């Protein structure tokens, strides 16, 4: 609709205020038919292969304010321009020309009215000579101008707020005129691989974001502002830090890949100077980092701490509590042997490929922990079952911990859980070759929603097993149907096709409850979703809560005495080798949270139809201290 409005202004494109049609623009520039009426040009260069510009094409468009050549596909257009192309209108406020093909700007171009200059991915070697009044310039973007050798003198650009020089790989020096840019907020020089020199002894009060990632020849710490809030130094060669460095407003600091042996003590001193305002700290692949200073305890606002692949890090401060810290990543710190004790408010904890030997009993202090990842910890031998007490824990991954052989219960810990306890954690112990899986399943203190193990054989813990999709004639007491949920643990042995691209599977278990008089009703379990990272065989174990009808109070009177079950795996690339269930032995410790606190559900496991237990109501037995009898026989259905 906008194009139609513009076309309605005149039959001649050069008489219109705005040119947006690519053919019209190409015709006007080639034929030199533009007029003073033209205020803006926006050309999608993806719609043309060649661009012919008359040497006087812009001279008649003296009121042009906006000139934009853009591409979504990073397309380079062949520009045909005579040697005399040396003019752009002086009233230009926006000049945006992606992939500008010439080595310099037009020689007679006066940029004094520019507000935004965007020449990303240009072929420019320089922009212009001399000093120009650039009081209106706020944004300059020369991203990816790989041939750019010098930056024009911007000392008069006193209102410049953002300067982007990233990927200008020929730049060697940032000139000292930058000290005059009193309103500069963002300076981006990422991957300026030949940058060696930054001005020193200046303090840009307004600068708060400095990106020097990938400036691999930069050896001195940038001492150009004490007000920087975000500083990224990935991939530099910094060897020294100013002794009087002050970063009083720093809240986000990232440093990566500093391998200089000279860095050690100086880095330690720098770490001691970190500002209490810091909220994010990311240190990656710094071999000279051996320990963190005790001054870390002053970082009360720190929320995110990532110290990864620092292979010589041995110790962390102890007995401190960074109350704001909610994410800690120490993965790849292979010499770190002690479980971190620096905050009890952590929600995300990644200790993969560390040298930690045990998950201690006091992990229960981490009351807000949601995700724990300890993959590939070669020295990890034991895990405390106190981890099951953590009410917010959603996922704990111990995959590829090949030395792990025991999961221990604290002697003082209770082996039962509150009546309203509904586990929600997923444990993953895949490829833990020394772990006794049967012993793990027998642990009464291990509570989980999902458990993922490696293997192809069904554990004997699951007393009802089959290689088909159905389990039939599983006996139950009449009163089991008076509960809101019918509960059991299920295990599916699933083999993933090594050629498949899938790494996830969803499992459904459906139940048909049957009575002696050919009565039945169906109930369906909620879907359980599992994700795997490798193509292998897995034991996918989960607690299943089958919702019973709301009017189930009368069901026991209808003689429902057994249940048939059926499993469905929704991934055609995953082969179900077999599955089984284990009925709850004593549901008094796992009653549902929706009520029925006085009714104990007992499932009978026998080799005949006899009733071995009865429904007991605590009010009839004088309290809740009911100890149900256990059958000495088991039924196995195949």
Domain boundaries, the chain: 246-345, 357-454, 464-621
Name which residue leads in pLDDT, 275 or 347: 347
Cβ pair 144, 120 in contact under 8 A = yes
Q: Would you state the pLDDT for residue 606? A: 33
Q: What is the pLDDT of residue 552?
A: 60
pLDDT score of 352 more than 70: yes
pLDDT of residue 487: 83
**Backbone CA torsion sign across 528, 529, 533, 537:** positive
Within 10 Å of residue 167's Cβ, how many Cβ atoms? 21
Q: How far apart are CA 318 and CA 121, in angstroms?
A: 50
What pLDDT does 626 receive? 30
With a pLDDT cut of 90, the percent of the chain lying above it is: 39
How far is the C-alpha of 40 from the C-alpha of 58, rounded, in Å?
12
Question: How does pLDDT run across 428-472, given as a tens digit for each residue?
Answer: 999 999 999 998 998 877 888 899 999 999 999 998 999 999 998
The mean pLDDT value of the chain amounts to 81
Of 459, 481, 437, 449, the residue nearest 599 (C-alpha): 481
Q: In the predicted model, what is the mean pLDDT of residues 191-195? A: 93
Confidence (pTM): 0.76
pLDDT in tens, 266-300: 677 777 778 888 999 999 988 888 888 888 888 89
CA distances from 423 to 417, 445, 631 (A): 10, 12, 27
Worst-scoring range by mean pLDDT, 349-353, 371-375, 600-604?
Answer: 600-604
Whether the pLDDT of residue 517 is over 90: the answer is: no
Task: Please give the structure tokens belonging to residue 29.
Answer: 């520039």
Helix residue ranges per DSSP H, 95-246: none
Whether the predicted pLDDT of 617 surpasses 60: no
Q: Name the strands in the sheet holding 382-384, side by side, starting at the edge strand that comes first in the sequence.
A: 358-359, 382-384, 406-408
For residues 636 and 581, is the Cβ–Cβ distance under 8 A? no
Render pLDDT for 123-134 as a digit per residue (tens, 0 to 9). 999 998 889 999
Q: Which of 28-32, 506-510, 632-636 has the lowest mean pLDDT?
A: 632-636
| Greatest mean pLDDT range, 303-307, 417-421, 568-572, 579-583 | 303-307
- Phi, psi of 350, rounded to the nearest 5 degrees: -120, 115
Residue with tokens 């880095």: 267
The mean pLDDT value for 601-621 works out to 33
Helices (H), 41-127: none
DSSP for 418-475 reads -TT-----EEEETT-TT--HHHHHH-TT---SEEEEE-SS--TT-SEEESSSEEEEEE
* Residue 514 pLDDT greater than 70, yes or no: yes
pLDDT at 479 over 60: no
Query: Do residues 128 and 151 make contact, with C-beta atoms less than 8 angstroms apart?
Result: no
* Angle, alpha carbons 621-625-626 (nearest 5°): 65
The CA-CA-CA angle for residues 244, 247, 252, to 5°, reads: 145
In this prediction, residues 500-510 reach a mean pLDDT of 79
Structure tokens at 565: 């079950």
The Cα–Cα gap between 234 and 309 comes to 14
Residue 7 φ/ψ, nearest 5 degrees: -60, -30
Structure-token pair, residue 432: 């833990």
Taking alpha carbons only, the member of 551, 585, 544, 584 closest to residue 565 is 544
Kind of pairing between the strands at 504-515 and 528-531: antiparallel
């Amino acid at each position: 609709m906008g194009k139609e409005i513009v076309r309605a202004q005149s039959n001649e494109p050069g008489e219109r205020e705005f040119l947006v049609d690519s053919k019209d623009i190409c015709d006007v520039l080639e034929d030199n038919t533009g007029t003073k009426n033209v205020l803006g040009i926006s050309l999608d260069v993806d719609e043309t292969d060649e661009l012919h510009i008359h040497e006087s094409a812009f001279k008649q468009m003296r009121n042009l304010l906006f000139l934009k050549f853009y591409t979504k596909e990073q397309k380079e257009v062949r520009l045909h321009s005579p040697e005399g192309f040396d003019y752009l209108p002086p009233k230009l406020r926006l000049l945006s020309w992606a992939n500008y093909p010439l080595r310099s700007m037009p020689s007679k171009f006066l940029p004094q009215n520019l507000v935004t200059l965007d020449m990303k991915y240009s072929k420019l070697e320089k922009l212009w000579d001399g000093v120009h009044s650039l009081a209106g310039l706020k944004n300059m973007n020369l991203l990816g101008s790989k041939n750019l050798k010098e930056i024009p003198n911007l000392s008069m650009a006193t209102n410049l707020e953002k300067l982007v020089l990233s990927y200008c790989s020929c730049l060697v020096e940032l000139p000292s005129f930058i000290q005059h840019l009193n309103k500069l907020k963002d300076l981006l020089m990422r991957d300026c691989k030949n940058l060696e020199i930054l001005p020193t002894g200046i303090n840009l009060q307004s600068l708060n974001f400095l990106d020097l990632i990938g400036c691999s020849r930069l050896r001195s710490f940038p001492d150009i502002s004490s007000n920087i809030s975000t500083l990224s130094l990935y991939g530099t060669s910094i060897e020294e830090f100013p002794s009087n460095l002050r970063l009083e407003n720093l809240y986000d600091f990232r440093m990566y890949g500093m391998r200089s042996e000279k860095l050690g003590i100086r880095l330690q001193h720098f770490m001691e100077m970190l500002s209490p305002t810091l909220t994010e700290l990311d240190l990656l692949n710094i071999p000279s980092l051996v320990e963190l200073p005790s001054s870390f305890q002053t970082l009360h606002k720190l929320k995110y701490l990532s110290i990864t692949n620092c292979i010589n890090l041995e110790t962390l401060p102890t007995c401190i509590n960074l109350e704001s810290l909610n994410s800690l990543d120490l993965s790849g710190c292979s010499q770190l042997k002690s479980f971190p004790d620096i905050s009890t408010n952590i929600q995300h904890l990644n200790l993969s490929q560390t040298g930690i030997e045990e998950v201690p009993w006091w992990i229960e202090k981490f009351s807000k922990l949601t995700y724990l990842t300890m993959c590939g910890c070669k020295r990890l031998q034991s895990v405390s079952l106190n981890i099951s007490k953590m009410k917010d824990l959603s996922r704990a991954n111990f995959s590829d911990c090949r030395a792990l052989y025991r999961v221990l219960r604290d002697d003082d810990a209770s082996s039962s859980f509150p009546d309203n306890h509904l586990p929600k954690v997923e444990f993953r112990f895949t490829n833990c070759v020394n772990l006794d899986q049967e012993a793990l399943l027998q642990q009464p203190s291990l509570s989980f929603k999902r458990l993922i193990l490696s293997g192809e054989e069904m554990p004997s813990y699951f007393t009802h097993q089959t290689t088909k999709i159905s389990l039939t004639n599983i006996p139950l007491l009449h009163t089991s149907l008076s509960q809101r949920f019918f509960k059991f643990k299920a295990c599916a042995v699933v083999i993933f096709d090594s050629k498949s691209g899938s790494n996830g599977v969803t499992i459904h278990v459906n139940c048909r409850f049957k009575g002696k008089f050919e009565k039945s009703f169906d109930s369906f379990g909620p879907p359980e979703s599992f994700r795997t990272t490798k193509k292998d065989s897995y034991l996918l174990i989960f607690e299943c809560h089958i919702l019973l009808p709301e009017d189930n109070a009368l069901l026991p009177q209808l003689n429902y005495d057994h249940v048939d079950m059926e499993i469905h795996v929704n991934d055609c690339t995953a082969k179900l080798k077999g599955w089984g269930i284990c009925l709850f032995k004593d549901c008094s410790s796992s009653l549902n949270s929706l009520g029925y606190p006085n009714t104990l559900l007992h499932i009978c496991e026998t080799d005949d139809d006899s009733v071995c237990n009865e429904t007991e109501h605590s009010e009839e037995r004088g309290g809740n201290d009911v100890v149900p009898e256990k059958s000495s026989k088991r039924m196995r259905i195949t």
